[in-house]
């Protein structure tokens, strides 16, 4: 049940990528003019019958291997031409700036994200013009900015307390599958932040709303959620009740001309936050756990860090102590390097532009091309990431900072530039709440084999289980004693 539901979510995310391949979007035919003397050439291209081996790799080994092979063959810029659609891949920081920073009039994601309109409504995101959307992005940035996150820590801690789905503060030892989304500790904290938590509990008769959340992406669930949020907005307005949460802040957001957000806008914005933040954070919590628990050294370093923080601040966790967990932060970041929830980003070119590779070659990318930034390759470039198959959180630590070696587009799990995720700080905060709690309070062991990634899925998913045995330990006191 959980599996089916969560795959419904990813299938909708997947839509965006599938749309690129078997597209029904009509692309203008790209006229291949002989390049004039001072225009750089177009990138090397795979087309015609040479596409067949590539498709074979795609179907048998998945797109990561397929792209890796093309990257090895052609370097950082290459075009795949298929069914009349030309997709140019831009691999690595040297050729990525325009992808992330180019103005909307020259590069836009719109056609790939229109599928979100029925989910979030026509009053937000890709249902509105660019000027309005830009203002709405400012609302996201404002309501999710670090200074606003402090108040969410305490309710999160309360929620995480019972432990990995054990239902009582002092559970007897047992075993749980972290990938099943069943453990309560992986409860989507986002509910708390957005303020819908109490209502949802009520509406799902004591449940935690997770059932609906897992179905997100289906039309029925979207409609149900929208109506729940609309009701919360209405009831707060009519009772003048003010809460300290994201929903409230969105209700208080104002456009430049002073117009406040409408009920439909608040509902749409909240839905988009849920959609963007839920699946991504859950997957990140699971992968971080799987990685940490299979690397004794990292696990010990993470425990040691907790111990130091406990020595300094006692058991108390708040926003500032979370900020001190810099090694845990790197553990999450490294899990995200290896398992980015969004493995590839797409945009459409509206105006020719030129890129220059690390080796000094220049290519013109013509209007009409789809461009793609494949994170799964970007995060595995050997001249940037040392021993890239090794889980090594220290690579982001002081003195190494590999994520900066190529400038600001070296590490793009949270996208970047104009499209940067406004929830990044929130995401780290909640995964840190979960894992600092688990590390302090439980002895955990991964008892199943390290999970595989299903690369044949358009959004690669964790395949199998992350079976973890747990035993309550009376930390942090025992931490201090040894
Ligand atoms: C590890 C967890 C997360 C990852 C890897 C992630 C990644 C991303 C990426 C790559 C984008 C840009 C998508 C695009 O340009 O097409 C994005 C957008 C966004 N993210 Fe995140 N995100 C995460 C967690 C969160 C959380 C926890 C929240 C909210 C609390 C959030 C809120 C948003 C919002 C509101 C957008 C913009 C959506 C829109 O433009 O309609 N994200 N995220
Ligand atoms: C854009 O590129 C196309 C194809 O290379 C070319 O025909 C066209 O003249 C270019 N347009 C501009 C404005 O340079």
* pLDDT tens digits, 278-319: 888 888 989 999 999 999 999 999 999 999 999 999 888 899
Supply the DSSP string of 290-307, one letter for each residue: HHHHT-HHHHHHHHHHHH
Burial class (CB in 10 A: 0-12, 13-18, 19+), 265: buried
CB 192 within 8 A of CB 273: no
Q: Is 268 in the pocket of ligand 1 (CB under 6 A)?
A: no
Ligand 1 centroid–CA 421 distance in Å is 4
Q: Which of 119, 271, 280 to mutate to test the pocket of ligand 1 (most atoms within 8 A of CB)?
A: 280
pLDDT in tens, 244-270: 888 889 999 999 999 999 999 999 998
Ligand 2 centroid–CA 365 distance in Å is 9
Res 6: pLDDT: 40
Q: Is 106 in the pocket of ligand 2 (CB under 6 A)?
A: no
Q: Is 366 in the pocket of ligand 2 (CB under 6 A)?
A: yes
Kind of pairing, strands 344-349 and 77-82? unpaired
Supply the DSSP string of 70-98, one letter for each residue: HHHHH-SEEEEEETTEEEEEE-SGGGTHH
Q: According to the annotation, is 421 in a ligand binding site? A: yes
The total number of residues written for the chain in this structure: 482
Res 164: pLDDT: 54
Q: Which of 225, 181, 222 is nearest to 199 (CA)?
A: 225
CB 265 within 8 A of CB 421: no
Beta bridge partners of 86: 81
Q: Is 421 in the pocket of ligand 1 (CB under 6 A)?
A: yes
Atom of ligand 2 nearest to the CA of 35: 5
State the residue for tokens 């020719």: 352
Q: Is 102 in the pocket of ligand 1 (CB under 6 A)?
A: no
Q: Is 415 in the pocket of ligand 1 (CB under 6 A)?
A: yes
Res 189: pLDDT: 52
> What is the C-alpha to C-alpha distance for residues 464 and 350, in angstroms, rounded to an integer?
42
> Which ligand is closest in space to the CA of residue 285?
1
> What is the C-alpha to C-alpha distance for residues 187 and 156, in angstroms, rounded to an integer?
10
pLDDT band at 27 (very low <50, low <70, confident <90, very high): very low
Select the more confidently predicted residue: 159 or 58. Answer: 58
> If you take atom 26 of ligand 1, which residue's CA is the nearest one?
277
C-alpha count within 13 angstroms, C-beta hemisphere, residue 131: 3
Q: Where are the domains of the chain?
A: 2-481
Q: Is 184 in the pocket of ligand 2 (CB under 6 A)?
A: no
> What is the C-alpha to C-alpha distance for residues 473 and 426, in angstroms, rounded to an integer?
28
State the residue for tokens 């209700």: 251
pLDDT in tens, 123-141: 999 899 999 999 999 999 9
pLDDT band at 150 (very low <50, low <70, confident <90, very high): confident
> What is the C-alpha to C-alpha distance for residues 156 and 152, in angstroms, rounded to an integer?
6
DSSP classification of residue 471 = E
Instruction: Read off the pTM.
Output: 0.88
The pLDDT > 90 percentage for the chain reads: 53
> What is the C-alpha to C-alpha distance for residues 188 and 274, in angstroms, rounded to an integer?
9
Residue 407 has pLDDT above 60, yes or no: yes
Q: Of 241-250, 388-397, 445-454, where does mean pLDDT reach its minimum?
A: 241-250
Ligand 1 centroid–CA 18 distance in Å is 20
Tokens of residue 182, six digits: 């069943």
> If you take atom 13 of ligand 2, which residue's CA is the nearest one?
352
Residue 445 has pLDDT above 80, yes or no: yes
Ligand 1 centroid–CA 10 distance in Å is 14
> Which ligand is closest in space to the CA of residue 363?
2
pLDDT band at 169 (very low <50, low <70, confident <90, very high): low
Residue 85 has pLDDT above 80, yes or no: yes
Atom of ligand 2 nearest to the CA of 352: 1
Q: What are phi and psi of 85, to 5 degrees?
A: -110, 135
Ligand 1 centroid–CA 41 distance in Å is 35
Res 216: pLDDT: 56
**Per-position b or e across 145-177, b if 16+ CB within 10 A of its CB:** eeebbeebbebbbebbebbbbbeeeebeeeebb
> If you take atom 14 of ligand 1, which residue's CA is the nearest one?
419
Q: Is 367 in the pocket of ligand 2 (CB under 6 A)?
A: yes
Burial class (CB in 10 A: 0-12, 13-18, 19+), 358: middle
In the sheet that holds 85-90, the strands lie side by side as: 45-46, 77-82, 85-90, 370-374, 344-349, 107-108
Select the more confidently predicted residue: 225 or 191. Answer: 225
Q: Is 423 in the pocket of ligand 1 (CB under 6 A)?
A: yes
Q: Is 196 in the pocket of ligand 1 (CB under 6 A)?
A: no
pLDDT band at 455 (very low <50, low <70, confident <90, very high): confident
Res 398: pLDDT: 93
Q: Which of 20, 99, 145, 421 to mutate to test the pocket of ligand 1 (most atoms within 8 A of CB)?
A: 421
> What is the C-alpha to C-alpha distance for residues 242 and 252, in angstroms, rounded to an integer?
10
Res 301: pLDDT: 97
CB 177 within 8 A of CB 455: no
Q: Which fold has domain 2-481?
A: Cytochrome p450 (1.10.630)
Ligand 2 centroid–CA 437 distance in Å is 56
**Strand runs (DSSP E) across 149-201, as ranges?**
174-177
Res 227: pLDDT: 84
pLDDT, averaged across the chain = 83
Burial class (CB in 10 A: 0-12, 13-18, 19+), 477: exposed
Ligand 2 centroid–CA 361 distance in Å is 19
pLDDT band at 228 (very low <50, low <70, confident <90, very high): confident
Tokens of residue 117, six digits: 């309109």
> Which ligand is closest in space to the CA of residue 128?
1
DSSP classification of residue 397 = S
Select the more confidently predicted residue: 36 or 244. Answer: 244
Ligand 2 centroid–CA 350 distance in Å is 11
> Which ligand is closest in space to the CA of residue 79?
2
Residue 30 has pLDDT above 50, yes or no: no
> What is the C-alpha to C-alpha distance for residues 318 and 436, in angstroms, rounded to an integer?
11
> What is the C-alpha to C-alpha distance for residues 327 and 304, in angstroms, rounded to an integer?
10
Q: Is 34 in the pocket of ligand 2 (CB under 6 A)?
A: no
Q: Which of 366, 368, 369, 371 to mutate to test the pocket of ligand 2 (most atoms within 8 A of CB)?
A: 366
Atom of ligand 1 nearest to the CA of 273: 35
CB 450 within 8 A of CB 152: no
Cα 24 to Cα 108, 110, 220, distances in angstroms: 17, 14, 25
């Amino acid at each position: 049940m959980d599996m089916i539901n969560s795959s419904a979510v990813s299938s909708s995310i997947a839509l965006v990528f599938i749309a690129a391949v078997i597209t029904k979007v009509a692309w203008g035919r790209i006229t291949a003019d002989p390049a004039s003397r001072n225009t750089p050439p177009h990138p090397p291209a795979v087309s015609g019958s040479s596409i067949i081996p590539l498709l074979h790799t795609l179907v048998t080994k998945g797109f990561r291997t397929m792209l890796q092979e093309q990257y090895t063959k052609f370097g950082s810029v290459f075009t795949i031409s298929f069914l009349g659609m030309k997709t140019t891949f831009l691999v690595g920081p040297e050729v990525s700036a325009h992808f992330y920073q180019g103005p909307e009039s020259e590069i836009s994601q719109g056609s790939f994200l229109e599928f979100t309109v029925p989910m979030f409504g026509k009053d937000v995101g890709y249902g509105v013009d660019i000027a309005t959307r830009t203002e709405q992005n400012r609302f996201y940035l404002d309501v999710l900015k670090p200074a606003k996150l402090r108040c969410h820590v305490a309710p999160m801690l309360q929620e995480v307390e019972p432990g990995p789905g054990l239902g009582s503060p002092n559970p007897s030892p047992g075993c749980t599958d972290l990938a099943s989304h069943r453990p309560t500790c992986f409860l989507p904290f986002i509910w708390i932040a957005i303020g819908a938590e109490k209502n949802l509990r009520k509406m799902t008769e004591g449940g935690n709303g997770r059932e609906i959340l897992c179905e997100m992406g289906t039309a029925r669930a979207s409609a149900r959620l929208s109506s729940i949020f609309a009701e919360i907005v209405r009831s707060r307005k009519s009772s003048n009740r003010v809460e300290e949460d994201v929903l409230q802040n969105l209700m208080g957001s104002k456009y430049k001309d002073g117009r406040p957000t409408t009920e439909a806008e608040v509902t749409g914005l909240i839905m988009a936050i849920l959609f963007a933040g839920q699946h991504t954070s859950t997957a990140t919590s699971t992968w971080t756990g799987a990685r940490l628990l299979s690397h004794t050294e990292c696990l010990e370093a993470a425990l040691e860090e907790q111990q130091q923080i406990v020595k300094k601040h006692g058991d108390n966790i708040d926003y500032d102590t979370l900020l001190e967990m810099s090694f845990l932060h790197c553990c999450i970041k490294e899990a995200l390097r290896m398992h980015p929830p969004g493995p590839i980003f797409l945009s459409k070119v509206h105006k020719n532009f030129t890129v220059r590779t690390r080796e000094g070659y220049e290519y013109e990318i013509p209007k009409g091309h789809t461009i793609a930034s494949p994170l799964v390759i970007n995060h595995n470039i050997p001249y940037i990431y040392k021993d890239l198959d090794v889980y090594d959180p220290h690579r982001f630590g002081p003195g190494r900072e590999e994520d900066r070696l190529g400038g600001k587009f070296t590490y793009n799990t949270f996208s970047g530039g104009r499209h940067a995720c406004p929830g990044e700080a929130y995401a780290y905060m909640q995964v840190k709440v979960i894992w600092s709690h688990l590390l302090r309070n439980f002895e955990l062991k991964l008892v199943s084999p390290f999970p595989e990634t299903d690369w044949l899925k358009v959004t690669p998913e964790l395949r199998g289980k992350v079976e973890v045995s747990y035993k309550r330990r009376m930390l942090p006191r025992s931490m201090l004693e040894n």
